[in-house]
Structure 1
């Protein structure tokens, strides 16, 4: 049953993420992104990370996507009307670039996995010794992950301010 759920959530995540990129309508792309966030929450549940699954759904599928939809509607984005020739040119360039990107990601991931601690160092016994999932996550987040956490929050703030500036220029 667990394997079936993993394959289902994984296929749903990858399929909806691909639909985000390829769908021409921005609002429908955002809705596919919400579906992707929900299926990622299901994957976190399978990993017994209930808190992260809940935060995935509440923060990303809830708050961040409301912000994205607000920005899309504020900018009044229309679906792009492309002809088949332009689409074929895009695909001709996209396939090698995607393969190059996947190769780079695989290289980075395998290099990072080689530098990880021995298997089992952060297993169920370590989590239980920390006092549970939430306490272990908080300890890791605010010790090792504090800088990336803060950089991400500043990046999101800059993106929101940039969208507001762009939207204000459009109204003039």
Structure 2
């Protein structure tokens, strides 16, 4: 990935991530989160992690954001009273964010491994490419099969619970 595209997608992710927190409208905030997820998926494509990028778009930008929007619409947040902007809280948040970025910058400047490129991944037969889908599928359906099935049942139960709880009584 060219450095221009990297900086563009990184800036897109950061700007819309800040917009998620700064927006007062919950629907606009959720849509900004979708754009932030898409920028993050683009960064994964730049790292040649295509499977993770696709999962990022399908799971987070797709399913999780639909769930967030469903909850926002279910709670009817548009009727919620608007709060006043708390300037000391904003100033404190900005101060903490600046301190965090400064600390992160100082640590990365002193950490010598941060300046080295990633080593090449080697498979058993000497190939230099790693098949993400095969590794994830093999792990899910052999080593972690039972937890994978349990998570599926829990998601099904949670979905049924949401439908039952959100059903309105007819008068």
**TM-score with structure 2 setting the length:** 0.65
Task: Report the equivalent of 1:81.
Answer: 82
Specify the SS of the correspondent of 2:58: helix
Q: Comparing 4-13 with 72-81, which one deviates more in the overlay?
A: 72-81
Backbone CA RMSD of aligned residues = 4.3
Unaligned 5+ segments in structure 1 are none
Alpha-carbon spacing, 1:65–1:135, altered in 2? closer, same or farther (3 Å): same
Alpha-carbon spacing, 1:135–1:12, altered in 2? closer, same or farther (3 Å): same
Unaligned 5+ segments in structure 2 are none
Task: Report the equivalent of 1:30.
Answer: 30
Q: Is the 8 A contact 1:19 1:29 kept in 2?
A: yes
Q: How many residues align?
A: 150
Alpha-carbon spacing, 1:36–1:113, altered in 2? closer, same or farther (3 Å): farther
Alpha-carbon spacing, 1:76–1:97, altered in 2? closer, same or farther (3 Å): same
Task: Choose between structure 1 and 2: higher helix proportion.
Answer: 1
Q: Is the 8 A contact 1:130 1:136 kept in 2?
A: no
Deviation at 1:132, TM superposition (A): 1.6
Q: Which has the bigger relative contact order, CA under 8 A and spacing at least 6?
A: 1
CA distance in 2 between counterparts of 1:109 and 1:51 reads 28
Work out which of the two has the higher radius of gyration on C-alpha atoms and give 1 or 2. Answer: 2
